Copies of this chain bind each other. A is one copy, B any other.
Amino acid sequence: MTASTTPGTTAAPLLGIDWGTSNRRAYLLDERGELVRKHEDDAGILNVQGRFGDSLRDLLQTLQVGSADIILSGMVGSRNGWVEAPYLDISQPITELKNHLLEVDSGLPGVRCRIVPGYRYLDPQGLPDVMRGEEAQVLGALALSASSGWFLLPGTHSKWVHVEDGTVRALLTFMTGELFALMSQHGTLSKVITAEQSIPAAFEAGLRAAPHGAFTHMAFCCRALVVTDMMPPDHTASYLSGLLIGSELDDIRRRSGGDFNVPVQVVGSPGLSARYLNALELLGTPARAWQPDGVYVAALRHLFQLER
């Protein structure tokens, strides 16, 4: 029993769930916002279709939690998730997300359940981009440090979010991880790609080549380097990785008018972030790395209004 609970009662545990497509991560906090327990499983939305309430009940049992105040983020709020939480327009500041949570009837007594909505962005040409889940990570990083600028969230679909004064100004997704997987597993380059190779010089060569042409051409140059004996076959994976990340960085640099003075804030696990941090360093762009768990817990504190 803590000072914030009424005598004779137990405060409902605070539970944040980053509920994605394939995986689910649950963060149990005490009423001061300290992380008590983290649980991760593969009950992503693809594996839970039509059984979201049951799946949540099972999770609460696993965590030995009866009543709870729950915040869900990620693809659980998509059309293929539990309840669709309409995308917010970027005119709604990310620092005001706590006012836009969508209540979900979990069907479980003593359980309050709310979903964080994602964001939709229209670029100057009117083309849309979207995020679900990353907005909570960005909120957490903002809660930990007030700085504006580009946030990079590496992943299968790498997200770049430009934030000024707590408001999203731009949002761009790159299919970097997905295209690397597709091209490594199928198609022309897969014939020579040897997985798990990491050749720093080849990564840098791909990174520096990327701005010189369309990705669909530069990827063929990677093949041509091998057939002309200008590059060993086992450099292909690193070169392709450099090319894909270089293509991202070149796009963002152009949109920023070539200006990358403020550190890029990279929110991701060390493994996911390493290549991006390396790329940013090679290109002379300052970067700051954030651990996603710490950032997520900070976001939960903000959403549960436990800011200290």
**Which of the residues B87, B173, B216, B227 comes within 8 Å of A179, measured between beta carbons?**
B216
**Which of the residues B78, B127, B214, B217 comes within 8 Å of A225, measured between beta carbons?**
B127
Please state if B187 and A216 are interface contacts (CB–CB under 8 Å).
Answer: no
The answer to whether A2 has its CB under 8 Å from any CB of chain B is no
CB distance from A178 to the nearest CB of B (A): 5
Please state if B212 and A215 are interface contacts (CB–CB under 8 Å).
Answer: no
Measured in the bound complex, the distance between the Cα atoms of B214 and A179 in whole Å is: 13
Q: What does the 1/0 interface line of A136-149 toward B look like (CB < 8 Å)?
A: 00000000000000
Measured in the bound complex, the distance between the Cα atoms of B79 and A251 in whole Å is: 36
Task: State whether A216 and B230 are in contact (beta carbons under 8 Å apart), knowing that A125-B209, A224-B128, A224-B130 are contacts in the complex.
Answer: no
In the bound complex, residues from chain B placing their C-beta under 8 Å from that of A227 are 78-79, 130
Please state if A120 and B220 are interface contacts (CB–CB under 8 Å).
Answer: no
In the bound complex, residues from chain B placing their C-beta under 8 Å from that of A87 are 228
Q: Which residue of B lies closest to A121 (CB)?
A: B224
Please state if B251 and A221 are interface contacts (CB–CB under 8 Å).
Answer: no
Q: Which residue of B lies closest to A125 (CB)?
A: B212
Binds B, one of A11-19, A64-72, A99-107, A242-250: A242-250
Please state if B123 and A220 are interface contacts (CB–CB under 8 Å).
Answer: no
CB distance from A169 to the nearest CB of B (A): 16
Please state if B127 and A214 are interface contacts (CB–CB under 8 Å).
Answer: no
- 3 tightest CB-CB pairs across the interface, nearest first? A214-B251, A173-B220, A128-B224
Contacts A120-B224, A128-B225, A129-B217 known; 17 new A-B pairs at CB < 8 A: A87-B228, A120-B228, A123-B212, A123-B213, A125-B209, A127-B225, A128-B230, A130-B224, A130-B228, A157-B220, A173-B224, A174-B220, A175-B217, A175-B220, A182-B187, A214-B215, A217-B251
